[in-house]
Copies of this chain bind each other. A is one copy, B any other.
Amino acid sequence: VPRNRQDVDRVEKIEEIVRAGERLVRAGGYEALSFSGIAEELGLARGAVYWYFRSKDELFAACAARAIQTALSNPPKRTGYASRIIWAVDQLAAIRPIHTTLQDRARHSKPAATLLQGIQGTLTSQLRELLRPHVTPARLEPVSGAIFVFVQGLLALPLAERERQRHLRFLLRELASDRA
């Protein structure tokens, strides 16, 4: 006897699924994310989840997006540009496995590619705006580009917070101090 939850808002049901998926993917990465796992947590049949996400790629992209959004919410105010960058990198580093998998899956998965592109786009432009007051106009583009690449490297490596910050501060001092 199939249950029916047409009374419950569709958006709310999707929310439930993505929340469960975020937990799973935070705990054990892409592998730990499964239709079975989510169905179990929500008391549904495995197939039911397909009503909302047509593939594991879609499901993963949604859960990863939520995890990243969670990580980058509540940024601290009133701090210097270096601290702001470091904060964002630290937040993303805390969910490094998700970021690494996203990078890996983006090759073949359309939803993953789209998500990653969006993240990198906003990251790039925010970085440029943060750096603009501290770099001469002619150098703004190459400098912010280099720092973006550098940040991707920091996120790819399993560094301790201290090392990450040390590397980042060093590079910022080297590249972005021509306009104090």
Residue positions of A touching B, CB distance < 8 A: 29, 31, 97, 100-101, 103-104, 106-108, 142, 145-146, 148-158, 167, 170-171, 174-175
A31 and chain B: residue at smallest CB distance: B108
Bound Cα distance A148, B156 (Å): 11
* A100-B103 contact, Cβ under 8 Å, with A150-B150, A157-B149: yes
CB distance from A110 to the nearest CB of B (A): 14
Residues on the B chain within 8 Å of A97, using CB: 104, 107
Bound Cα distance A31, B171 (Å): 37
Within the complex, which residue of B104, B150, B153 is in contact with A101, where a contact is CB–CB below 8 Å? Answer: B104
Within the complex, which residue of B104, B106, B156, B170 is in contact with A153, where a contact is CB–CB below 8 Å? Answer: B156
CB distance from A128 to the nearest CB of B (A): 15
Bound Cα distance A175, B152 (Å): 19
Within the complex, which residue of B106, B145, B174 is in contact with A167, where a contact is CB–CB below 8 Å? Answer: B145
Q: What would 15 more interface pairs be, CB under 8 Å, given A142-B167, A146-B171, A152-B153?
A: A97-B107, A100-B100, A100-B107, A101-B104, A106-B158, A107-B158, A142-B170, A146-B150, A146-B167, A149-B150, A149-B154, A150-B153, A153-B153, A153-B156, A156-B156
